[in-house]
Amino acid sequence: MSKYRWQDIVALILGVYIVAAPWLITMQLTSADITRVVFAAHFIIGSAVTGLAASAMRTSRSWPEWLQALLGLCITTSPLALGSSDMVVLGYNSVFVGLILMVLAGSALSTRRRPPSSSW
C-alpha cells in the first residue's frame, strides 16, 4: 500500500496544470490577450500548490491542506481580482480548478489520521 494519499497526488498534478494552463488555453484561442499578471499569478499559485502537495506527502501535519484550500480560493477568485474576467475560457478553468483544489484539501483533511486523544 502506498504511503501517499490520492488527494496529494491529484493536488500535485493540479499544481503543474495551474502553471501550464495559460499556455495550454491560449494555444487554443485565436485572440490570446493574456496579460503578464495572469501568467505570473498562475505560475506563483501553481508552484505553491505543487510545493504544498509535495510537502503534504512528507508530513503528517494538516497545514499544507489548509494552505492548498486557501490557494484554491485564490485561483477561483483570480479572474475577477486580476480583471481577466473577459477571458472566459481561462476564467472558467480557474474557477473549476480552484473548486477541485478546495474539495481535495477538504477531503484530505477529513481523512488525515488524528492522534488518539488522551482520556484522563
Q: What is the pLDDT of residues 59-71, one digit of tens each?
A: 878 888 999 999 9
Torsion angle, alpha carbons of 119, 111, 74, 80, to 10: -120
Evaluate whether residue 88 is within a structural domain. Answer: yes
Residue 11 lies in a domain: yes
Q: What's residue 116's pLDDT?
A: 54
Containing domain of residue 19, as a range? 6-111
Tens of pLDDT along 5-50? Answer: 888 899 999 999 999 988 887 765 544 556 778 888 899 999 999 9
Cβ proximity of 91 and 79 under 8 Å: yes
Whether residue 119 lies inside any domain: the answer is no
For residue 21, being part of any structural domain is answered with yes
CA dihedral for 40, 82, 17, 91, sign (positive or negative)? negative
Give the model confidence (pLDDT) of 41-98 as tens digits: 899 999 999 999 999 888 878 888 999 999 999 999 988 887 766 678 888 899 999 9
Residue 120 falls within a domain, yes or no?
no
- In 3D space, the residue among 100, 111, 112, 109 whose CA is nearest the CA of residue 11 turns out to be 100
Confidence of residue 120 (pLDDT cuts 50, 70, 90): low
Within a domain: residue 116?
no
In 3D, which of 60, 59, 48 has the Cα closest to residue 12? Answer: 48
- Tell me if 75 sits within 8 A of 90, measured CB to CB: no
C-alpha to C-alpha distance for 10 and 4, rounded to whole angstroms: 11
**117 in a structural domain:** no
What is the domain count for the chain? Answer: 1
Residue position matching grid coordinates 483533511? 109
Q: What single DSSP character describes residue 4?
A: S
* 1 within some domain: no
